Structure 1
Amino acid sequence: MQVTLAIDCMGGDHGPSVTLPAARQFLRDDPYASVLLVGLPQSVEAEADKLASDFPGRARFVAASEVVEMHDSPAIAMRNKKDSSMRVAIDRLKAGEAQAAVSAGNTGALMAISRFVLKTLPGIDRPAIATILPSQNPRGRTYVLDLGANVDCSAEHLLQFGVMGAMLVESLEHLERPSVGLLNIGEEEIKGSEVVKQAADLLRDSGLNFFGNVEGNDIYKGTTDVVVCDGFVGNVVLKASEGLAQMLGNLLKEELTRNWYTKLVALFALRALRHFKDRIDHRRYNGAALLGLKGVVLKSHGSADAFAFEQALRRAAEAARNNLVERIGGRVGAHLAAEEPAQ
């Protein structure tokens, strides 16, 4: 299936030096994809023209006159930068010229602009941010949401996150009825806050494949395909996970280079070490979906390199091809219909 991505080429810590090489590799790997390269003419147009020449009919430059900086507030991005590369990319998605948009820019600004331009799906109160963390399940990954868009959540919000997360896994993993767990301080039903207990009841009656309460270690065990939590908890989990992975990598490197003996051991174990590094490489899991919007929007990590940004492009294309928005809308619509009192 043909799919077009609108790429904010100016976003992130590195801008076009990362986004443009990633777009080139993405086009090389996916012959059924095309891109709209949105950015400042002086920074993007020349390379966009090369891509258009190398991939005829599959790459096009779209001019923007402003850039949303990483320190800009969502209000500044919304009111004062209406021709930013981020806004133009979302506008092109809204206009139907693209089936998904990807940016490595300011998360708050991207969420605010996307929500303002695209609007939320009927029945969705708040969009959520979902990402992938490595785990020991057969697919090697667990989907977690929300990761910071919503600090204070009601039980109904957590239910909506469960629906959106399940539909995301169905779209990206082609997995029917993925399992959903609710992050808690214990597996017992009596554990947790009143909001979490109420959310468990709603999820249990939702028709989803609800596993029940899960704990933090279950994320990495891969106990469930989806783990639901509020944005405060989710953001802490994400940042702690990134810090732990970086620390383990650094400690392992220190130990294996400590002396000639450990260096020799490392040489013999090189293949296994490379495989281990690949499995925990956070770049492979790059691309957080902004769920609940009337459009597919993925947020890349701001510090992503070209390899990591390409992973976000791949996920955006896969979500668009598998009708992520329609799946979420249909499931939420069915839930709302079931809640309506009989006439």
Structure 2
Amino acid sequence: MRQEMKRIAIDAMGGENAPKAIVDAVLKAKAELPEDQFILFGDEAQLKELLPQDDPQIEIVATTEVILDEDEPVKAMRSKKNSSMVVAANWVKEGKADALLSLGNTGALLSCGIFIIGRIKGVARPGLMPTMPVQSSDDGFNIIDVGANATSKPEYLVQWAEMAAYYAEKVRNVRNPRVALLNNGAEYDKGDDLHKAVYQLLKDSKLNFTGNIEGHELLTGKADVVVTDGFTGNAVLKSIEGTASVIIHLLKDGLLNNGVKAKLGALLAKDALKTVASRFDTAKYGGAVLLGVNSPVVKQHGRSDARAVYYAVKQIDKILTEDLISAFKAEFSK
């Protein structure tokens, strides 16, 4: 395990609640992580207003541009060279920081990870991987890829499964993680040619492969790692997020806007509802990790508050402590 100072580069201008939510998260995390240094990239005047003076754990790097959500990712990466995201990525590339966190434009961050920080030698394509909740425990599961790749080959999915399984074991402390392939049926011969080929490769691998998993089983805790192509993974991720948001809205509306009886029922069911809310609290899992690049790159949701950013910072600290990237380099450069 790594012991020396860990330097985390943070795009302080990305996301809807920047920079305050990001600064608040750093101020909370730094007391718990005395061996971490936080390098905040962004508007110097705004950041100085929010930060204490002369804190040895916090450094500000002034930038003058911001990549917006509506910007075309690759074009923005190339044209906004003094943006908080691009400058932060270059610090990581140059070895002046060890990891990158952003709440900004997802496509631009993926571009920075792949084209500036760069792929690990031997990794065909990096994959984007969040941790999602399950109904049976607080452990959650990893799903990869959720949008870094529009098209996929069988060998990509196998590498993503290998990296995700290692992450689950080292960062989430899952022993011998169960790996499943997202498919349209449980049988080995289900799916298109891509999924049939991936099934056989995973079956013959050293992974704890448990077979296919269908969409309705994802949140049941049947697998610790789910591998899928980027197009399907992105659609599934957004479907889960959208469905959860609608259900929460309907519950709140039904319990609070339907008279005294409904409000009394809500009061009686308060503890049960808190348990459900805690179980499906995605913030505590941190952000989505871009696996397969030369340094940790983590994307947190653009709407994240300070609490969600805090968990992403803790996640990065764990990744650096476990020295995951060195392990990936040793494995995939063979």
Question: TM-score band, normalised by the shorter chain?
Answer: over 0.9
Give CA deviations for 1:275-308 in whole Å, capped at 9, x if unaligned: 2212212333340001100000100111111111
Partner of 1:341: none
Give CA deviations for 1:184-238 in whole Å, capped at 9, x if unaligned: 0111011011111111111122211111111112221111110000111111111
SS of the aligned residue for 1:38 comes to strand
Instruction: Note if contact 2:100-2:297 (Cα within 8 Å) is conserved in structure 1.
Output: yes
Alignment counterpart, residue 34 of structure 1, candidates 30, 33, 37: 37
Q: Distance in 1 between matches of 2:132 and 2:185?
A: 20
Partner of 2:147: 148
What amino acid sits opposite 1:120 in the alignment?
A: R
SS of the aligned residue for 2:61 comes to strand
Please state if 1:83 is matched with 2:76. Answer: no
Q: Distance in 2 between matches of 1:270 and 1:137?
A: 19
Deviation, structure 1 residue 138 = 4.2
What amino acid sits opposite 1:250 in the alignment?
A: H
Please state if 1:319 is matched with 2:319. Answer: yes
Report the more deviating stretch, 78-87 or 281-290: 281-290
Q: Distance in 2 between matches of 1:290 and 1:226?
A: 15
What amino acid sits opposite 1:267 in the alignment?
A: L
Instruction: Note if contact 1:3-1:317 (Cα within 8 Å) is conserved in structure 2.
Output: yes
The structure-2 alpha-carbon separation of the partners of 1:254 and 1:74, relative to structure 1 and needing over 3 Å to count, comes to: closer
Partner of 1:340: none
Instruction: Note if contact 1:152-1:230 (Cα within 8 Å) is conserved in structure 2.
Output: yes
Give CA deviations for 1:257-277 in whole Å, capped at 9, x if unaligned: 212112112112222222221
SS of the aligned residue for 1:173 comes to coil
Alignment counterpart, residue 45 of structure 1, candidates 37, 43, 48: 48
Deviation, structure 1 residue 174 = 2.4
Gaps of at least 5 residues in structure 1 are: 338-343
What amino acid sits opposite 1:102 in the alignment?
A: L
SS of the aligned residue for 1:239 comes to helix
SS of the aligned residue for 1:34 comes to strand
Aligned positions of 1:1-343 closer than 5 A: 1=3, 2-48=5-51, 50=52, 53=54, 56-257=55-256, 258-333=258-333, 337=334
Deviation, structure 1 residue 139 = 4.1
What amino acid sits opposite 2:182 in the alignment?
A: L
Q: Distance in 2 between matches of 1:143 and 1:211?
A: 15
Instruction: Note if contact 1:169-1:178 (Cα within 8 Å) is conserved in structure 2.
Output: yes
Gaps of at least 5 residues in structure 2 are: none
Report the more deviating stretch, 316-325 or 266-275: 266-275
Report the more deviating stretch, 215-224 or 229-238: 215-224
SS of the aligned residue for 2:206 comes to coil
How well do the aligned residues superpose, as a CA RMSD in angstroms?
A: 1.6
Q: Distance in 2 between matches of 1:47 and 1:260?
A: 44
Q: TM-score, normalised by structure 1?
A: 0.91
What amino acid sits opposite 2:267 in the alignment?
A: L
The structure-2 alpha-carbon separation of the partners of 1:132 and 1:66, relative to structure 1 and needing over 3 Å to count, comes to: same
Deviation, structure 1 residue 30 = 2.7
Q: TM-score, normalised by structure 2?
A: 0.94
Give CA deviations for 1:154-207 in whole Å, capped at 9, x if unaligned: 111111111121122122112343121110011101101111111111112221
Q: Distance in 2 between matches of 1:277 and 1:189?
A: 35
Q: Distance in 2 between matches of 1:330 and 1:217?
A: 36
Q: Distance in 2 between matches of 1:62 and 1:170?
A: 35
What amino acid sits opposite 2:318 in the alignment?
A: E
Q: Distance in 2 between matches of 1:138 and 1:251?
A: 24
Q: Distance in 2 between matches of 1:274 and 1:183?
A: 30
Instruction: Note if contact 1:163-1:332 (Cα within 8 Å) is conserved in structure 2.
Output: no
The structure-2 alpha-carbon separation of the partners of 1:139 and 1:274, relative to structure 1 and needing over 3 Å to count, comes to: closer
